[in-house]
Structure 1
Amino acid sequence: MSLRRLGRECAVQFLYQHHVDAGTSLNKALELFWPLREIEGPTREFADALIRGVFEHLAAIDEKIKAYADNWDFERIATVDLAILRLAVYELLYRDDIPPVVSINEGIEIAKRFSSEESGRFVNGILDRVRKDLLRPARHAAGGS
């Protein structure tokens, strides 16, 4: 498994956990979360940046998910699927250093691993619609060729 995939999986696990126990501040929740993992260095730094980025832009991310979750009540989206969507939508909208197809593929694979095959299709459908709104190439990071 790549270090970035591991970082994304940690980020999804944290987002899931924090959604279930939202009463703890972000910094306190991270202090409690990281000692339970044997993740350090660049992988942890990547995951931490993703987590903080999701929280910084959470309202806009959730609005984007709501806009494309046709026929789905936002409150009824499975918590793990919501964590995956929040992470991937954050990457699509705010991480120009990550090619959109990478964010989509990672979201789908993480959904298949932590949720279900059907969740993979659900996540793919929403992320593909978000990608179509982007003004950058799908297969390259910003500034890439």
Structure 2
Amino acid sequence: MGKRREGREAAVQFLFANELHGEHTPEEQEAFWTIHNAKTSVRAYAETLIHGVMERTPELDALIEPVLENFRIQRLAAVDRNVLRLAVYELAHVPDVPAAVVINEAIEIAKSLGAGESGSFVNGILHKIAQKVRPKSNA
């Protein structure tokens, strides 16, 4: 598994824990990384993603929610919600990663961390968002 995939998985796990338990003290954040045992490069990439998602959560949710079709983002499974936020952050703010890569990575993370249909669900939502956020991309 590559460092970006590991970083994305760690970021989703952190965002999930942060959502469940609220703000973390610096000591609690460090404990997460001790438990996760990530390499320095993986941690650096994950922290970039984490900060980006946390700083832009309302913007990301505003991009996701209209695509959910009669469903509110808060009703999604927490893993799916955080996978989507992370992927939409990358689609909107990390242009050097191709949309197809962002979507495929999100699908694989949703499959490994989410419930039965998480991969398919994430796939459908992200394809719609990618068409709006990166219209010239072949996602």
TM-score by length of 1: 0.87
**Higher alpha-carbon deviation: 86-95 or 70-79:** 70-79
1:127–1:28 distance in 2 versus 1, CA, 3 Å: farther
Residue pairs, 1:6-17, within 5 angstroms? 6-17=6-17
**Which consecutive segments of 4 or more residues in structure 1 shift more than 3 A?**
none
How many residues end up aligned between the 2 structures? 138
Shift of 1:74: 1.9
Query: Aligned to 1:72, what secondary structure does the other structure show?
Result: coil
The equivalent residue for 1:60 is 59
2:60 counterpart of 1:90: no
Residue pairs, 1:65-144, within 5 angstroms? 65-133=64-132, 134-138=134-138
**Structure 1 spans left out of the alignment, 5+ residues:** 140-145
The answer as to whether partners of 1:9 and 1:110 remain within 8 angstroms in 2 is yes
Query: Aligned to 2:17, what secondary structure does the other structure show?
Result: helix
TM-score by length of 2: 0.91
**Higher alpha-carbon deviation: 70-79 or 53-62:** 70-79
Matched letter for residue 5 of structure 2: R
**Structure 2 spans left out of the alignment, 5+ residues:** none
Give the alignment's Cα RMSD to 1 decimal: 1.6
2:45 counterpart of 1:46: yes
**Higher alpha-carbon deviation: 130-139 or 64-73:** 130-139
The answer as to whether partners of 2:131 and 2:137 remain within 8 angstroms in 1 is no
The answer as to whether partners of 1:7 and 1:46 remain within 8 angstroms in 2 is yes
